[in-house]
Amino acid sequence: MRRSWTIGKVRGAGRGARPSGRGRMRHAPSSLNRAGAIVSQVIGLFPTPVVRVERLLSSELIASITSEIQNSQKHTNAFSDRLSHTPVTSVDANEIYAQLGEIVMPSVVQFGEVLFGETLRWQIKEIWMNVLEPGGRQSIHTHANSFISGVLYLTQPHPSANLVFHKSLGGTNFIFSNHHQGARINAYNGSKWMMPEITPGDLVMFPSYLLHEVPTNQGEQRISIAFNAIPERLDNFGYAIRFA
């Protein structure tokens, strides 16, 4: 019997979004069934959200921040001497961070609703700047003690140094794999995903538990601002927790 497959797409965004076909295996019209064909639909369950907000920062603000960072104190990354960071601090540390906190907050709140299904009060817990020189890289890592992590881009990153996300290193996957030149990689069997082209002023946000890295920078200097955010509280049917 002849079979064909279609990949289910999510309609809408945020709360209420659902796979097309109302979550059921979708059968072909009766004319196709009479011809002996069965149409099946592959549905992606429990997707991981990653958000890109395009051109959130103005060119004037980018120029001001870039000028400021050149004179800021920075320390060298432990794994790459071509990567440096400003000290991790709060948005209250200076006017630039305070302004950035106000700019990103509406997007953080919206993303938080996607993650937790409710409009919550959020705060930027910490913020810092990153300068990646040619030949530098950021090793794979996650962000502890946080729920939402974000990156603001001040420069156009070279395609080689775009943010790369990785599937969890274990726990929910097959122990075996089938990755080779003849295998077709898709959203269900791939182990990593690279952000598409990013422009200065863009904001990228993701759950803080998501593994990510920046491969070796084969282009010019790459400057970005990173932050972590937490909600005021979470409540699971009365089992509530509040965060300072």
**Along the 244 residues of the chain, how does pLDDT read in single tens digits?**
445 555 444 333 343 343 333 334 444 444 455 667 888 999 999 999 999 999 999 999 999 999 888 788 999 999 999 999 999 999 999 999 999 999 999 999 999 999 999 999 999 999 999 999 999 999 999 999 999 999 999 999 999 999 999 998 876 677 788 989 999 999 888 999 999 999 999 999 999 999 999 999 999 999 999 999 999 999 999 999 999 7
Sign of CA dihedral 180, 186, 192, 198: positive
Assess contact for 177 and 205: CB atoms under 8 A: no
pLDDT at 21: 39
pLDDT at 169: 80
**Residue 234 token pair:** 């979470």
Q: How far apart are CA 64 and CA 105, in angstroms?
A: 20
Q: Name the 3-class secondary structure at 205.
A: strand
> What is the set of domains in the chain, with CATH numbers?
2-42 (no CATH), 51-242 (2.60.120.620)
pTM of the model: 0.84
Angle CA(156)–CA(161)–CA(167) in degrees, nearest 5?
125
pLDDT at 148: 99
Angle CA(186)–CA(228)–CA(61) in degrees, nearest 5?
95
Q: How far apart are CA 19 and CA 4, in angstroms?
A: 18
In order of 46, 93, 110, the CA distances from 190 in angstroms are: 15, 40, 28
